[in-house]
Every structure is written in C-alpha cells, then in structure tokens.
Structure 1
Amino acid sequence: MSGSASASGQTGVSDGFDPSADANPDSRRKNDHIRLALAQQQVPKRNAFDDLRFVHHSLRAVDQSQVSLATRVCGSDWPLPFYINAMTGGSAEAGRINAQLAQAAAATGLAMATGSQHAALRRPELEPTFTTVRKQNPSGFVFANVGPTVSPGQAVRAVEMLAASALQVHINPVQEAVMTEGDRDFGSWPARIQAIVAASPVPVVVKEVGFGLSRPTIERLASLGVRTVDVSGRGGTDFAVIENERRADRAYWYMDSWGLSTVLSLLTAGWPEPVAGVELLASGGVRSPLDVVKALALGARAVGVSGHFLATLNERGTNGLIDEIREWSVQVRALMSLLGARTVADLTASDLLLTGPTAEEARLLGVPLESLARRSARA
C-alpha cells in the first residue's frame, strides 16, 4: 500500500517485519486486499443505512452526562459500543497496519479483531504480523480470526497465538467462489463450525465478510452452538469486487452488490422476534457515528468498523485514528442523548422510519415497518 498508514509515522513502532517474506502467495494476496480495499474507500457510495431515519422527538432528549456507552459482548464489558473489525495480517505491510491499529485500540479502549490468521497457520514466519496486535495492546479485548476450513486444533492455535479474548470464524463463500485460488467445497462448513465452537476455549463469533447473514442462517448457526454473530452486511468493502479485480479475466464483474445489507440483516434477525439465544454484532458499510447508532437501534450489541478506520489510518496515521475514535465516542454519546437513550439497550425502543429499496426488501421478508416506526409507544 504505497503511501500507506505505515508511511505516516506518529507511531514509534519498530516493526521488524521482513518484507522478503512477501514473495509468497498468501502475502501477495493480503497486500492486494489492502490496496483494493483502500481504493473502494476513495469512492463514496450510498448504502442501506441511508434508507433508515430516526423519528425526532424534541422533548425526549436526556443530559449527555446520563448516557452510558458501555455494552456487553461475549460475556465481557466494553466501554464503547463499536470496535475495530477484522482487516488484515499475513504480510509485512499488514503487520505494520495491525501494529498501528492495535496502538489505537489500546489508547482508546476499543476492542479489535485481526484479519484471517490462515497465512500464519500455514507459514509460522508470518505469525509476527498478527502477534504484534497483542504486543501493542497487551490487556485489550482481541478477536482471533479463522475460517471454517481450519481444524479445531488450528482454531485453538489461532486463539493461543494472540492470547485472544474471543474467536471470529468468518464465512465467505461469495469471496471464495470469485477468488481464483479460493475454496470450492462449502458443504462441510456447518459441521466444521460446530466442531470449532466445541473446541474453542473462548467465545466464538461467526461473521460474514460483507454479504450479510439471513435469518435462516442465524437460526442454523444457533443450532450449531453459536451464541454471537456479526451480520457483516453489504454496503462497505466488497470482497466480490476485490477478488474479481485480482482475476486476469474479470469474469465475475456482475457480482457487485451481491448479498443482504447490514440493515436488512439486522431487521430480519429481530423480526418477528429475535433469534433465541443469539447476540448480534453488526458491521458492513459503517461510515459515521450515526451509522453506529442506527445499527445499535436495530439490536446490535456493538458495531464493527473496518474500511473507514483503515482509510483514516492511511491518511492521518495512528494519532489521527486515535483522534477519530475519540471524536466518534463524543458523537455517539450526543446522538444517544438526542434520542433519549441512557443506555445502548434503550436505543432499541427508538422510532425508526425505513424507506427506499431497503423498505421494499424488508416488506418482502415480512418486517412490519409500521411497528418499527412506533416502537417507543410499546416501550
């Protein structure tokens, strides 16, 4: 990533990552992902969060001093209801980015996830590009990250590599299908996820990678023992587009915008009632504190941010990202105050208006939009 976050300084990180290791296919792919993800951030785009608006009630605002941003995820208390979601690892450049993201997480109390650790499980020399996260953030909440193709033993090894607080298992069949070197055997994934959940010494979060989780998928995951999911919907970094750009033939040009949006995934997960026993996280297309608050209002316990924070790091360095996270915290508190929400849970009683294409999709999936607009009356 030429002119990237690592070039902006302000970190004091002595990386020690060997760029000669980047000649391997895993590292080249990781660097491609960083470059193409940043390119997508340069083109602002509308997404389903823009179809969602709060109903304004002028006399329901509360003092900002009465607002708590705390939330509880995977049995742990977090001071903030958003986090740095999975991005990268597995190359020298990715290692430097992980070190800087971890510094920002440590300075702000934010939870953080690494990118997929498959490269390090295959190539031990790449482990430092992931373990730097724990080195830079020794006491923070850190997610390890694997896909369902690893064995239970490898999943445990990924957790141990980071002394992780929880484990993300990413499910990405769309990305794999477009990727030239991707997996093509998806039928075993449910059984593999179940085995990973049983073996993991820490809570497991199953997440999509930007294509959304349908309600039947969440229900299936619950039957496999999964207790936390990140719906990670359409609207942000598009890995179908990224993998198509990596192909010489660009054969999957028509896959742009495949999947369910984050808003639609959250709506269907919560209606007509929440999927029993499953806590929701949300990511995908989160561009602002307002998007964070909208996702929380739709039932997410916390909201993951990837592309926006990566772009901020690239443009402004570690200190700039720290400043951005702190400003987001101030603005999330202000928005909750305006909505009369003293806690994150209170946001689920706020009135919401859904319009546009997302409203039509939601109707087709049975979401009662009029009830969504009158939630405060029921509360």
Structure 2
Amino acid sequence: MSRTQRKLEHIQLALSTGQLRLTGLDDIQIIHQSLPDSSLSDVSLQTFLGELLLSSPIFINAMTGGGGRETQKINEELAIAARETGLALAVGSQMSAIKNPEERKTYEIVRKLHPNGVIFANLGSEATLEQAQQAVEMLEANAIQIHINVVQELTMPEGDRSFKGALERIQAIAESLPVPVIIKEVGFGMGFETVQKLNYSGILAVDIGGFGGTNFAKIENSRRSEEFTFFNEWGIPTSVSLVEACEAADGLEVLASGGITNSLDVVKCLVLGAQAVGMAGTFLRVLKEDGIEKLIESIEQVHKEISFMMTALGCEKVSELRTKPVLFTGQTHHWLKERGVNTSSYSQRGRV
C-alpha cells in the first residue's frame, strides 16, 4: 500500500473508530468557587507557548496531509476554520511530501489560507535535521512537532521496527532549527520517565497525546491479518499523563491532547497545568459530518464556554487556571498515588 493510500485509510478508520472516552478526565472534579470576584468582560483567552502568542488556549492538532486531493481539502478547511477563529494549527506528518514533492501542496495550502496564523510543522522521530528544515520551510512554520508513535509503528503492518537514536535526533533538530520543537505522542501518553529524558534536550514543549481518544493501535490492528490485540488497551490515560508530565517537566511547557472532546475537558486540562490544549478527532468529525461552517460555530461555542467557566473560577487569564483547586477521583487518583504524586497539593491549592 502506498503512503498516500495509507493516509486516506487512516482518516477513514479514525472516523469509524471514534473517540473512546477513556481519557480519565471524568475523574477530575474542579472545586467550585462561590466568590470569584470576576467579570466575563475581563476574561482573555490569550496564552503563550514559549514566545509564541496564541489567541486561544486550544489549537487544531495534527491530522493529515500527503493523501492527495482529499487530504488537501481537509487541510484547506481546517486552515480556514483556524483563521476565522484565531487558532494555531498543526499539520499531519510531512514525510510524504518530503519523499514525494507532488504532495507538498496538500500541506502548503495551510499557510496560503492562514497566512498570519501560528502553524506547526510535523515529522516523526526518524526525521533527520535536513528533513526537519524542509518541513519548516515548506510551511514557513512557527514551530515543529516531532511525533513519537512507537506502539502505532509496531502495530502497523508496514511500520518501523527500530527506534534507536530518536533522542539524539531530537536534540540535533532542537539545537539547530530556528523555530521551537514540540515532542508529541500520538495517543499512548507520556509518563514521568519520558518527560525526564526530554527535559534537557533543547525542546520547548511536550504534547502528551494521552490514551483515551482515537486509538491508533486499533486502527492499525484493523489493517493486520493477525491482530496485536495486546496494544489496544496500551497507554497512559490523558488525565494521568498530563499530571505526570507537569510533575516531571523541568523548564518544559506541557500541552494536553488525547480525546479532548469539549470545553470542560479543555478547562480541566488547563487547571491541571497544560499551557494549551490540542483537539483533533472531534474537529475532524464535525468537519466531515456537518461542514466547515458548523466547525467554526463549534469552535466559537467552545471559546464562549471556556470564558464562562473562567469567570466562574475567578480567572481573567488562562494561566490563572493553574492555581485553582481540583480533586482526583477513581482510577486517575489511584494511578497518581501509586506513581508518587501528592494529589492533596492539587486539591488544597489556594488555601490561606
């Protein structure tokens, strides 16, 4: 199967597989504040990623490109939606365009239609410095995601089987590129150990890509003659992964993604410590089922709801959400306690 055909099949399977809703975010309870001393008119959704000013704490995370006209159309419409709502936008892996220049237009359309927006390039951890430079130049990108997807590759019939040297390649890219580097998981989550390895690699941020949303092991298993079913439940739930990453990060910024489906999920992630929150599968489904106008409306509604929740919590700035108390319950609480996280420090924030 060609890379182009595989890109198209991944889109179809992602839509049919859907969101698992196993993120652990239902285990998170934000503590209500009865005297917030706030006004909706004072709320700002702006946030920073390094030196990049983001108009919104949500961004459209990597989905596609390199699959011919169909993926070009998806990227066209995502770029228009991002432009109209002020969102940053990440493209899918650009390796197909690096290996086949005819696919460049399926990515370049993003910068053409969102000329002043924040755009993230994207390549896998097998990429060389030269390839990373090409990916950034292709989009005039403001940053680049380097995705790590070991379980997906191992499950993929034609996937990679060696992952040696990834950290060294990441360091070389981070040291040499003129734009920030973000290391992104693709749905299996990052734990303490991974983030600790990345702390001094020269990157700007990690995007945890937690377990519980689109399941790429199931997607790849559906393409196998003999399924690796043991990978279907493999990973760290988004709620757990986000806290572990924030606890382990030393100077790194943390982005949340992985099955984020609504404004409450977004606010929970921001309260837990995320700098910004990526959404992909939910936006793709709205776009494919209801069209671009509905997607724009949905994003605007998410912005409105985030602003109302910030008002309820007494927050004028997104960064202030990280000071609000939050309670862990269920499996998330159990997991974090066993992993040595002081969960009470989160539930007792703000006490005098």
Q: Structures share a fold, TM > 0.5?
A: yes
| Residues 168-204 of structure 1 deviation map (CA, whole Å, 9 limit, x = unaligned) | 0001111111111111111211111111112212111
Q: Against the structure 1 CA distance between its residues 68 and 237, is the aligned structure 2 distance closer, same or farther, given a 3 Å change threshold?
A: same
SS at match of 2:81: helix
Match of 1:315 among 283, 289, 293: 289
1:288 aligns with 2:262: yes
1:38 aligns with 2:12: no
Paired position in structure 1 for 2:201:
224
Q: How does 1:239-318 map to 2 (within 5 A)?
A: 239-249=216-226, 251-271=227-247, 275-318=249-292
| Residues 195-226 of structure 1 deviation map (CA, whole Å, 9 limit, x = unaligned) | 11122121110110011111221121122212
Once residues 134 and 156 of structure 1 are traced to their aligned partners in structure 2, the CA distance between those partners, rounded to angstroms, is 16
SS at match of 1:280: strand
Once residues 206 and 71 of structure 2 are traced to their aligned partners in structure 1, the CA distance between those partners, rounded to angstroms, is 25
**What is the CA distance between 1:74 and its match in structure 2?**
3.1
**What is the CA distance between 1:157 and its match in structure 2?**
0.2
Residue identity opposite 1:263 in structure 2 = S
SS at match of 1:375: coil
Deviates more, 1:125-134 or 1:363-372: 363-372
* Matched-pair contact (CA < 8 Å) for 2:148–2:185: yes
Once residues 226 and 220 of structure 1 are traced to their aligned partners in structure 2, the CA distance between those partners, rounded to angstroms, is 11
1:376 aligns with 2:350: yes
Point out where structure 2 has 5 or more consecutive residues left out of the alignment: none
Paired position in structure 2 for 1:339:
313
Once residues 225 and 210 of structure 1 are traced to their aligned partners in structure 2, the CA distance between those partners, rounded to angstroms, is 23
Paired position in structure 2 for 1:59:
35
Paired position in structure 1 for 2:166:
189
TM-score (norm 2): 0.97
Paired position in structure 1 for 2:75:
98
* Matched-pair contact (CA < 8 Å) for 1:95–1:132: yes
Q: Against the structure 1 CA distance between its residues 45 and 263, is the aligned structure 2 distance closer, same or farther, given a 3 Å change threshold?
A: closer
* Matched-pair contact (CA < 8 Å) for 2:20–2:259: no
Paired position in structure 1 for 2:26:
50
TM-score (norm 1): 0.90
* Matched-pair contact (CA < 8 Å) for 1:32–1:246: no
* Matched-pair contact (CA < 8 Å) for 2:23–2:239: no
Residue identity opposite 1:253 in structure 2 = T
Once residues 37 and 333 of structure 2 are traced to their aligned partners in structure 1, the CA distance between those partners, rounded to angstroms, is 27
Once residues 221 and 50 of structure 2 are traced to their aligned partners in structure 1, the CA distance between those partners, rounded to angstroms, is 35
Paired position in structure 1 for 2:326:
352
Q: Against the structure 1 CA distance between its residues 46 and 173, is the aligned structure 2 distance closer, same or farther, given a 3 Å change threshold?
A: closer
Match of 2:62 among 86, 89, 109: 86
Once residues 127 and 342 of structure 2 are traced to their aligned partners in structure 1, the CA distance between those partners, rounded to angstroms, is 40
Query: Across the two proteins, how many residue pairs are aligned to each other?
Result: 351
Once residues 30 and 65 of structure 2 are traced to their aligned partners in structure 1, the CA distance between those partners, rounded to angstroms, is 37
**What is the CA distance between 1:44 and its match in structure 2?**
5.8
SS at match of 1:138: coil
Match of 2:211 among 234, 250, 259: 234
- Following TM superposition, the consecutive aligned residue runs of length 4 or more in structure 1 with deviations greater than 4 angstroms are none
Once residues 68 and 335 of structure 1 are traced to their aligned partners in structure 2, the CA distance between those partners, rounded to angstroms, is 12
* Matched-pair contact (CA < 8 Å) for 2:22–2:213: no
**What is the CA distance between 1:60 and its match in structure 2?**
2.0
Once residues 41 and 170 of structure 2 are traced to their aligned partners in structure 1, the CA distance between those partners, rounded to angstroms, is 43
**What is the CA distance between 1:46 and its match in structure 2?**
4.2
Residue identity opposite 2:23 in structure 1 = N
Identity %: 44
Point out where structure 1 has 5 or more consecutive residues left out of the alignment: 1-23
* Matched-pair contact (CA < 8 Å) for 2:47–2:54: yes
CA RMSD of aligned residues (A): 1.3
Once residues 290 and 340 of structure 2 are traced to their aligned partners in structure 1, the CA distance between those partners, rounded to angstroms, is 43
Paired position in structure 1 for 2:146:
169
Once residues 303 and 192 of structure 1 are traced to their aligned partners in structure 2, the CA distance between those partners, rounded to angstroms, is 26
